[in-house]
Structure 1
């Protein structure tokens, strides 16, 4: 009887629930709170399915694009197309060739794209085999009207890489860019200077940083890891050695073979690292994360004084060498630097790297307080 009175006091709209998700609109009617909760549960599952479907469609689009690129490559292998090989053709073939190796970062692909865009804008559909050294010098001088000489030289280094890559694969008979000289770099060289202990403390104690940036700098100063390595840490990469019980970062992907390594977690940051839900920047690409980190760093560090995120690596190595001057090869393994060939053969090939306990002893000695 009480429920009937209540129902009489309410309009039909009070028992209707409406929810819109993208192109879909859901409307349902309910009589009881339990029925309402049941509908919500079903709605949640439906939304998940719709999101999954959208993700699947995005993946399908990517695969379709890859198939198109592969098709273009196969076409490009035909003699008729070789005779008309342009920078449009070279870009397609070069990028897919690099992707198959899976050794190139997203930021490097972006740099490739920037240089190819300038090449296509300047040479249009001109055949690469028709270009001589004077043509490439004209391209270099054209770039110098847009950007500083150092950037021009960076673009030209990529151009030489692209053209050589195609020439090695017999896509055109000559490599006429190799003899193009670099422009004089008029920008003053900024010497790299390691951080002082006080500067490290200022960075680590800066209260206005969001937690993800605090954690990034904390890990960098205690491991010497590269910024992209830190950005790519996942929860599964935090492991514990069964024999020694030492926790470590298991870095499986890096810009070099030496970068694939096990880095012990510093005693001062272990408790914090075990609390973090990795990755630190789940919503950002590698490139976006690195730019954001650098912007935050420059809130504390003055730009133009030769100090960057990469400076953390040099500072960390400096502290390790100061405490363990005879153990450079072990320190190189910690930070992912290539060792000398003789040591590399003995340690990496036969011993499969240095023991975690040795690396941890050196790493734990680093302090900025």
Structure 2
């Protein structure tokens, strides 16, 4: 009988019952499996035998494999969440992770997209127009409209990829989208700009025509057979479009999130409002998204915002 695995299974079940995000649960499973494999290699088969030293050795082993400090710290957060659960359920009296410190992380600066690169990807996403297909099939028209909408939504709303995939048709109300399953299961509203609304109208027309005689799931973005688009499918799509557009950067939905956050700040939106738009619980999290802004960009943004200049204008 594998007692440690039983505890892990119960922890995962508890996470699922709390409606944690699919990506979070997937990460918990993956990282706890790695930790369990390490414990097996050390012949540790009882939860009470796990000490702080074992956890430290596991983290050091990850470091020796070339893992980044941020990745290792995520491991520790997952293991800590697991032991907090065991402690709360009174399976353990002592939480060994309390004596384990996080690794010091280097501040990572994510190189985000330029405006021109975003426009290029929007252009490439509209495959029918970009490739000048004269007589496109019904699905080609649908795919082009859908892919263009995906890029535009990611660039303009800063929503997370799982939030994008979870949008249902009824979540859209005039010029806004209700994000129902955000991080930590918090709801928020996302504003839709005029360019998005125009593309959305086009997309809905093409979608309705293509799936006229096909039963589909009740999601905004669906695949060829009418099923909800998955996070993996969107990530693969973004990489493909980025490659086609010759973008020499990490092309992912999260890079669009960084682009959108920085663009909002450059356009005069305050950090608190950007934080609310992103669905962050603290502006400290939002500040991570703004690290890669160059000094000259910050200076340009603040040039016309000096206190004395504004005072003179008011007089």
Q: Structure 1 length normalisation: TM-score?
A: 0.57
Partner SS state of residue 337, structure 1 = coil
Aligned match of 2:221 in 266, 279, 287?
279
Q: Which runs of 5+ in 2 are unaligned?
A: 128-142, 208-219, 284-315
Cα deviation, residue 329, structure 1: 4.5
Q: Which residue of 2 aligns with 1:334?
A: 277
CA contact (8 A) 1:224 1:313 kept: yes
Once residues 149 and 224 of structure 1 are traced to their aligned partners in structure 2, the CA distance between those partners, rounded to angstroms, is 26
Once residues 264 and 303 of structure 1 are traced to their aligned partners in structure 2, the CA distance between those partners, rounded to angstroms, is 28
* Deviations, residues 73-123 of structure 1 (Å, cap 9, x unaligned): xxxxxxxxxxx9942122122111111211x22222121111222233232
Q: Which residue of 1 aligns with 2:192?
A: 265
CA contact (8 A) 2:188 2:279 kept: yes
Cα deviation, residue 285, structure 1: 6.2
Cα deviation, residue 140, structure 1: 2.8
Q: Which residue of 1 aligns with 2:169?
A: 235
Aligned match of 1:309 in 247, 253, 258?
253
Q: Which residue of 2 aligns with 1:116?
A: 32
Q: Which residue of 2 aligns with 1:223?
A: 157
Partner SS state of residue 160, structure 1 = helix
Decide whether aligned partners of structure 1 residues 152 and 331 sit closer, same or farther in structure 2, where only a CA change above 3 A counts: closer
CA contact (8 A) 2:21 2:184 kept: no
Trace 1:69-218 onto structure 2 (pairs within 5 A). Answer: 86-102=3-19, 104-124=20-40, 126-144=45-63, 146=65, 148-150=67-69, 151-182=71-102, 190-206=108-124, 210-211=143-144, 212-218=146-152
* Deviations, residues 162-204 of structure 1 (Å, cap 9, x unaligned): 112212321112212332344566xx76412443221111111
Q: Which residue of 2 aligns with 1:318?
A: 262
Larger radius of gyration: 1
Once residues 320 and 183 of structure 1 are traced to their aligned partners in structure 2, the CA distance between those partners, rounded to angstroms, is 32
CA contact (8 A) 1:195 1:312 kept: yes
Q: Which residue of 2 aligns with 1:19?
A: none
- RMSD between aligned alpha carbons? 3.1
Decide whether aligned partners of structure 1 residues 173 and 217 sit closer, same or farther in structure 2, where only a CA change above 3 A counts: same
Once residues 181 and 262 of structure 1 are traced to their aligned partners in structure 2, the CA distance between those partners, rounded to angstroms, is 37
Partner SS state of residue 109, structure 2 = coil
Once residues 87 and 147 of structure 1 are traced to their aligned partners in structure 2, the CA distance between those partners, rounded to angstroms, is 27
Decide whether aligned partners of structure 1 residues 253 and 197 sit closer, same or farther in structure 2, where only a CA change above 3 A counts: same
Decide whether aligned partners of structure 1 residues 232 and 238 sit closer, same or farther in structure 2, where only a CA change above 3 A counts: same
CA contact (8 A) 1:263 1:334 kept: yes
CA contact (8 A) 1:106 1:287 kept: no
CA contact (8 A) 1:149 1:183 kept: no
RCO (CA 8 Å, sep 6+): is it higher in 1 or 2? Answer: 2
Once residues 165 and 11 of structure 2 are traced to their aligned partners in structure 1, the CA distance between those partners, rounded to angstroms, is 27
Once residues 328 and 145 of structure 1 are traced to their aligned partners in structure 2, the CA distance between those partners, rounded to angstroms, is 38
**Alignment length (residue pairs):** 244
Cα deviation, residue 295, structure 1: 2.1
Decide whether aligned partners of structure 1 residues 98 and 207 sit closer, same or farther in structure 2, where only a CA change above 3 A counts: closer
Partner SS state of residue 221, structure 2 = coil
Once residues 271 and 285 of structure 1 are traced to their aligned partners in structure 2, the CA distance between those partners, rounded to angstroms, is 22
Once residues 193 and 314 of structure 1 are traced to their aligned partners in structure 2, the CA distance between those partners, rounded to angstroms, is 9
Once residues 315 and 137 of structure 1 are traced to their aligned partners in structure 2, the CA distance between those partners, rounded to angstroms, is 36
